[in-house]
Homo-oligomer: A and B are copies of this chain.
Amino acid sequence: MSVDPAKRTAERPLQEPDAQAEAFAVVRQAHQMETTEDYVELIDDLITSQGEARLVEVAERLGISQPSAGKTVARLQREGYVTSEPYRSIFLTEKGKKLADASRERHDVVYQFLLKIGVSDTTAKIDSEGLEHHVSEETLDAFRRIINAR
């Protein structure tokens, strides 16, 4: 499956510097939103299934310490995605709920797509958690077409 390096040079010439830089900029932008998306999606899931989102559970499900989760929740509050009073549970703002819904929808498409092409459930869950943040609308549409194909 690997390719002769000499051949590769001819077959995959360098992109234009500007185009390449733009691609990296898009990735950096996606990373900047990634934590926010994962938190609001998780908080929304907890509210739906447990009635409330407690910091202790957010931290447990992210696999990080409570203070780390708390610091990010504080940032999300600063940025208007969530609200919470000291020692109370976490709520989504309108803005946060909207982002949560969009993120879950996109996450689900990626997950279902992986299952459709024969990836195991465990791997689909793991891979979709990372992939979801780097899928454009155009690629998402291609995924949807394949999901809906018989």
A residues at B contact (CB < 8 Å) = 1-3, 5, 8-9, 12-15, 17, 19-27, 30-31, 38, 45-46, 48-49, 57, 60-64, 101, 104-105, 108-109, 114, 117-120, 122-123, 125-127, 129-131, 133-136, 138-139, 142-146
Contact of A129 among B12, B26, B120 (CB under 8 A): B26
| Residues on B with beta carbons closer than 8 Å to the beta carbon of A142 | 114, 117-119
Chain B residues lying within 8 Å of A105, measured Cβ to Cβ, are 1-3
Expressed in whole angstroms, the minimum distance between the Cβ of A1 and any Cβ of chain B is 6
For the complex of A and B, list the 10 residue pairs with the smallest distance between their C-beta atoms, beginning with the closest.
Answer: A130-B134, A21-B63, A27-B130, A23-B129, A23-B126, A117-B142, A123-B138, A20-B61, A131-B134, A127-B139
Residues of B within 8 A of A108 (CB): 3, 12
Q: Decide: A5 and B48 in contact? CB cutoff 8 A.
A: yes
* Chain B hits for A145, CB < 8 A: 117-118
Instruction: Please report the C-alpha to C-alpha distance between residue A63 and residue B18 in the assembled complex, in whole angstroms.
Output: 8
CB closest residue in chain B, given A19 = B125
B residues near A8, Cβ cutoff 8 Å: 48, 104
A56 to B144, CA, bound (A): 41
Please measure, in the bound complex, the distance between the C-alpha atom of A129 and the C-alpha atom of B1, giving whole angstroms. 20
Asked if B127 and A130 make an inter-chain contact with CB atoms under 8 angstroms apart, the answer reads: no
Measured in the bound complex, the distance between the Cα atoms of B46 and A122 in whole Å is: 38
A57→B131 CA distance, assembly (Å): 28
